[in-house]
Structure 1
Amino acid sequence: MIDFLRGPVVHLENEYIVLDVQGVGYRVFCPNPFVFAKADGPVTVYTHHHVREDAILLFGFPTREEQQLFRKLIDVSGIGPKVALGILGGGTPDHVVTAIYQENITFLTKLPGIGKKTAQRMILDLKDKLDGFGTAAMATGLFAVPEPVEGDGSAWSEAREGLKALGYTDVELDRVWHKIKDDTAFGDSVDILMKRALKQLYAG
């Protein structure tokens, strides 16, 4: 099994990146490929090597935590790799885990591809299997599942801070917000806004 890859990103699409590892190009499907767009040199991508009858696929993540949560999610009946990618693209690991512990059906059903029955199955199957995924933070009240916001409220503010941490300037972020704000809807998560903004930033 391929657990991680390291190399420069040589190509990027909406659903995947191509990583050059010693002259071999690996196509790696990611929840948000654009998080790698700013990298100038080699990046480490934590992977899940998925084999099925008609394909061999690599799914990749910027952190070990996302990789491990992805593996937990695909163990749930009814959640395949594509749905698990959508879950991680729609909410941070901390928020997803918190929602499962709090049995927050409302939050979970706002994630891509998750209906009420699947959300209930996630809670039933995973609530007792997520030790180490933010449980200490929950116990001390350090984070909670975010409420959906509208317009340029706290979701964009949090997304903006995350983008600044990636190295983007205030001027770039003001410009990109002007481009995406009309497409921003009630309930869009921080991660959705970041992905939308990064796509615009990458496109120029």
Structure 2
Amino acid sequence: MISYIKGKVTYIQDDSVIVDVQGVGYEILCANPFVFQSALNNETLIFTYHHVREDAQLLYGFKNQEQKSLFTKLLQVSGIGPKGALAILGSVNVNDFVAAVEREDDKFLTSFPGVGKKTARQVILDLKGKLTTMLGISDQLTDDKSEQGVHTEGMAEAKEALRSLGYSEKEIKTVIPQLQKESLSNTDEIIRKALALLMKK
């Protein structure tokens, strides 16, 4: 099993990065490859999950161990495969997702692509109470869980609005990391900030 890869990021593509390790280029699928923009042409460490199936061997990459751990847990839920788990990670930070599972927020969970009510309930059934311990997340996350839920729901709505304005998925992905760092309270604020960032590109 390949736990991580350390090398120079040579290319960033819509859904993956290419990392050169002593002359060998590894393609690593990522939820948002553009989080590695600052590592372009520089050496970096990417946590990886090595997924083996009959017709392919794929590497999935993550910025930190928490994202990788959540990814592996999601794969254990019936109805969620690697593609679906990656889509979830691309739309939410780990703490927000854990908080949603702990409060059994079906509405929040069904906002992710490919997650219906049945799968959302399965996520809650399989993962509630397990993620906080595994990821070492403080119980304090439940104190501000409502605010986290609103923030992430607003992010999803803002992404949809940007698509309707004609921005491509690639363009939107380039500004998501910066948006997630901001303390924005509603969809309108997120959209305004996103547009400001996109106009600088």
> Same fold, TM exceeding 0.5?
yes
Residue in 2 that maps onto 1:43 = 44
Question: How far apart are the structure 1 equivalents of 2:193 and 2:104?
Answer: 38
CA-based RMSD:
2.8
Q: Work out whether residues 90 and 112 of structure 1, in 8 Å CA contact, stay in contact via their aligned partners in 2.
A: no
State how 1:162-173 maps to structure 2 within 5 Å.
Answer: 162=181
Distance 1:83 1:142, change over 3 A: same
Residue in 1 that maps onto 2:23 = 23
Deviation per CA, 1:68-98, whole angstroms, max 9, x where unpaired? 1100000111100000000100111111111
Distance 1:23 1:110, change over 3 A: same
Query: Does structure 1 residue 177 correspond to structure 2 residue 161?
Result: no
Deviation per CA, 1:108-155, whole angstroms, max 9, x where unpaired? 01112211110000000111321143243325x25543313366xxxx
Query: Does structure 1 residue 5 correspond to structure 2 residue 24?
Result: no
Q: Does the residue aligned with 1:90 lie in a helix, a strand or coil?
A: coil
Greater relative contact order (Cα < 8 A, sep 6+): 1
Shift of 1:158: 9.1
Question: How far apart are the structure 1 equivalents of 2:72 and 2:14?
Answer: 22
Amino acid at match of 1:146: G
Residue in 2 that maps onto 1:69 = 70
Question: How far apart are the structure 2 equivalents of 1:69 and 1:50?
Answer: 15
Distance 1:124 1:160, change over 3 A: closer
Question: How far apart are the structure 2 equivalents of 1:161 and 1:50?
Answer: 28
One of 113, 136, 139 as aligned partner of 2:139:
136
Query: Does structure 1 residue 146 correspond to structure 2 residue 136?
Result: no
Using the size of structure 2 for normalisation, the TM-score is 0.74
My pick for the range that moved more, 110-119 or 49-58, is 110-119
Question: How far apart are the structure 2 equivalents of 1:157 and 1:112?
Answer: 17
Shift of 1:54: 0.5
Question: How far apart are the structure 2 equivalents of 1:176 and 1:101?
Answer: 30
Counting matched residue pairs gives: 169
Q: Work out whether residues 19 and 28 of structure 1, in 8 Å CA contact, stay in contact via their aligned partners in 2.
A: yes
Gaps of 5+ in 1: 164-173, 181-199
Question: How far apart are the structure 2 equivalents of 1:143 and 1:35?
Answer: 25
Q: Work out whether residues 91 and 111 of structure 1, in 8 Å CA contact, stay in contact via their aligned partners in 2.
A: no
Question: How far apart are the structure 2 equivalents of 1:17 and 1:4?
Answer: 14
Question: How far apart are the structure 2 equivalents of 1:24 and 1:55?
Answer: 18
Using the size of structure 1 for normalisation, the TM-score is 0.73
Q: Identify the structure with the greater helix proportion.
A: 2
Distance 1:157 1:7, change over 3 A: closer
Gaps of 5+ in 2: 159-174, 183-191
